Amino acid sequence: MSELSAADRLLAVLGAFDHEHPALSLTDISRRAGLSLTTAHRLTGALTAWGALERDTSGVYHVGLRLWEVAALAPRGLGLRQLALPYLEDLYEATHENVQLAVRDGREVVYVEWLQGRSAVGVHIRIGARWPLHATGVGLVLLAHADPVFQEEYCAGPLASFTPYTLTDPALLRRTLAEVRRAGVAVSERQVTEDALSVAAAVRGAGGEVVAAVSVVVPRAGAQVPALAPAVRLAGRGISRALGWRPERPER
């Protein structure tokens, strides 16, 4: 294996942090990044001086605010969240349930906003969390509107299972994606937890392409999909308009 470049080593240090490991000692960073202690010490020093990392009084390192400032420039991150937030809040007020906004990154969905609802439904979500596309409502929307070649590759690939009801049959997944495109919403039931149901709709960019998805997650028992679907679609259209999308006017 070729030796890591300087950039690769810096990225390895940053990549040592995740949601399960938000605070790391120098030894932890060295081990998780696969670097010598001397190299890890030198790189964490440089990253701390720049502001990408912060070191507390006990000597433990955390991700620094400078990275948050840089992340705020991402059009699919905080910029999208700021435009979408009024519509997400409206959806929350209409349902008082868990409301989510997500984007696609490769074969995964990444959550960029989450408003926690009143119900105790099992939701394994936090901002920045990732799940396979086929296992969530927002993921099904994003997959349904992805490039057809990518869709076929995804459906043919390994499909992780989280409950006995997770969509793992390629043929069924293809039919589900077709229904999402037809109905304009995705209904994901018992895919990650057996007590939850989500209804999701697309968010379009100025050019009409699907750039994100919005959803509401409710307890499966007593879920009223016919009432939830219009509210979620309305939120998706509102965010889309805020992003500059204008639906084509029907010809007279």
50-57 contacts, C-beta under 8 A, 24 or more apart: 52/14, 53/13, 53/14, 56/23
Q: What is the pLDDT of residue 76?
A: 61
Say how far apart CA 14 and CA 66 lie, in whole Å: 13
Nearest to 204 by CA among 100, 96, 80, 109: 80
Mean pLDDT by 10 residues, the chain (252 residues): 78 90 94 94 95 94 86 67 92 92 93 81 71 95 96 93 94 96 94 91 94 93 90 96 79 36
Q: What tokens does 69 get? A: 């400032």
Query: Token pair for residue 183?
Result: 């109905």
pLDDT score for 123: 60
Is the pTM for the entire model greater than 0.85? no
How confident is the model at residue 82, as a pLDDT?
Answer: 85
Per-residue confidence (pLDDT) for residue 67, from 0 to 100? 85
